[in-house]
């Protein structure tokens, strides 16, 4: 009769080892502990909350957080297509490629380095065809796309327009006209159109240029107000509503009291415009992230100073 295969057990607790065998295995375990080699411990990954062997995890340079191989890989991969995550950082500090090289595939490292070259090019140009949008390395005007061979003006970033001055061709004029009526602004560096839905006039473009939404000047080089009055009030009302709902009293507040709350929130927003988001509290429940608009079903982080709601991804890697 063939020997019966060992029964698979799900939990260690249900695995019964005969007394004799257990005793026999003890000396070996003791020897193991005495060995002077580096002890492999288990650490918690901040992104997935899973326990992982210390050889499979990377420690951030300037904050206490650690990332497992899978989460590090996904952060680096996401950063290739999501400029708000590039370069990968935690708590506002860079996660240097060197410290995580050992956990990343050579292919991903190569892609990351190509992206870095692209993002480090100031005022960079992309193929103007929206379906192509390939990065065009610095060149003389016009730049020719290596993929689709069309030409892009490196000054206005539109289709090359020959000897006409920038902005004189119809397509560009149409976009600029639309921008005026819609109240859009253009990044002074990469010329991307930005539509400010909420928040203050301090814009950080996907190319990482910081500028003023009112006049498109580089940030801190103009005297425009930081907030647009209407957006400031809108934002204050959103936060007041949220706080009231969290306290279980939505809509139950008299108008006069509400007015006071809104005015107080307006003041906080103006004062904390450059909030460093240093202290976070966990808020249980279903909330929308103020940064990426993801809906979080279980909990969210709230900045104790400025009331910003952020998902873990935004709290640790975006802000």
Residue ranges that bind Zn ion, judged by CB under 5 A: 45, 47-48, 63, 65, 68, 71, 90-91, 127, 132, 134, 145, 147-148, 153, 155-156, 166, 187, 189-190, 192, 205, 207, 209, 212, 214-215, 217, 222, 224, 275, 277, 289, 291-292, 303, 305-306, 308, 311, 314
Q: Toward Zn ion, which CB reaches closer, 116 or 253?
A: 116
Shortest distance in whole angstroms from residue 301 CB to Zn ion: 9
Shortest distance in whole angstroms from residue 81 CB to Zn ion: 16
CA-wise closest residue to 154 among 168, 170, 172, 166 = 166
CA-wise closest residue to 205 among 231, 179, 224, 186 = 186
Q: Toward Zn ion, which CB reaches closer, 132 or 261?
A: 132
Cβ proximity of 67 and 57 under 8 Å:
yes
Q: Which residues pair with 224 in a beta bridge?
A: none
Q: Toward Zn ion, which CB reaches closer, 59 or 111?
A: 59
Give the torsion sign (CA, 273, 279, 285, 290). positive
Shortest distance in whole angstroms from residue 115 CB to Zn ion: 16
Shortest distance in whole angstroms from residue 18 CB to Zn ion: 38
Q: Toward Zn ion, which CB reaches closer, 112 or 269?
A: 269
Return the DSSP state at 14: G
Q: Toward Zn ion, which CB reaches closer, 61 or 245?
A: 61
Shortest distance in whole angstroms from residue 126 CB to Zn ion: 8
If one counts every other C-beta atom within 10 angstroms of the C-beta of residue 152, the result is 24
Cβ proximity of 164 and 152 under 8 Å:
no
Per-residue DSSP letters for 218-229?
BTTSS---SS-H
């Amino acid at each position: 009769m063939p020997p019966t295969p060992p029964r698979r057990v799900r939990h260690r607790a249900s695995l019964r080892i005969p007394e004799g065998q257990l005793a026999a295995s003890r000396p070996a375990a003791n020897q193991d502990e005495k060995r002077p080699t580096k002890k492999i411990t288990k650490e918690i990954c901040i992104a997935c909350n899973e326990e992982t062997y210390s050889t499979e995890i990377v420690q951030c340079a300037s904050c206490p957080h650690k990332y497992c191989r899978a989460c590090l890989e996904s952060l680096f991969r996401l950063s290739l297509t999501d400029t708000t995550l590039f370069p990968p950082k935690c708590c506002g500090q860079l996660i240097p490629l060197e410290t995580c090289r050992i956990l990343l595939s050579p292919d991903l490292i190569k892609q990351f380095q190509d992206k870095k070259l692209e993002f480090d090019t100031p005022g960079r140009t992309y193929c103007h065809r929206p379906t192509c949008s390939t990065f065009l390395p610095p060149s003389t005007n016009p730049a020719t796309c290596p993929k689709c061979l069309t030409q892009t003006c490196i000054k206005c970033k539109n289709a090359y327009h020959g000897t006409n001055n920038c902005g004189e061709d119809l397509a560009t004029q149409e976009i600029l006209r639309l921008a005026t009526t819609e109240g859009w602004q253009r990044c002074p560096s990469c010329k991307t159109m930005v539509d400010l839905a909420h928040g203050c006039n301090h814009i950080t473009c996907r190319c990482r240029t910081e500028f003023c939404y009112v006049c498109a000047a580089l940030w801190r080089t103009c005297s425009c107000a930081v907030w647009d009055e209407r957006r400031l009030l809108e934002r204050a009302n959103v936060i007041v509503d949220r706080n009231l709902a969290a306290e279980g009293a939505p809509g139950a507040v008299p108008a006069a009291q509400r007015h006071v709350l809104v005015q107080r929130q307006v003041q906080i927003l103006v004062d904390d415009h450059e909030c460093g988001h240093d202290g976070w509290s966990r808020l249980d429940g279903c909330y929308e992230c103020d940064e990426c608009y993801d809906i979080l079903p279980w909990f969210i982080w709230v900045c104790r100073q400025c009331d910003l709601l952020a998902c873990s991804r935004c709290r640790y890697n975006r802000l």
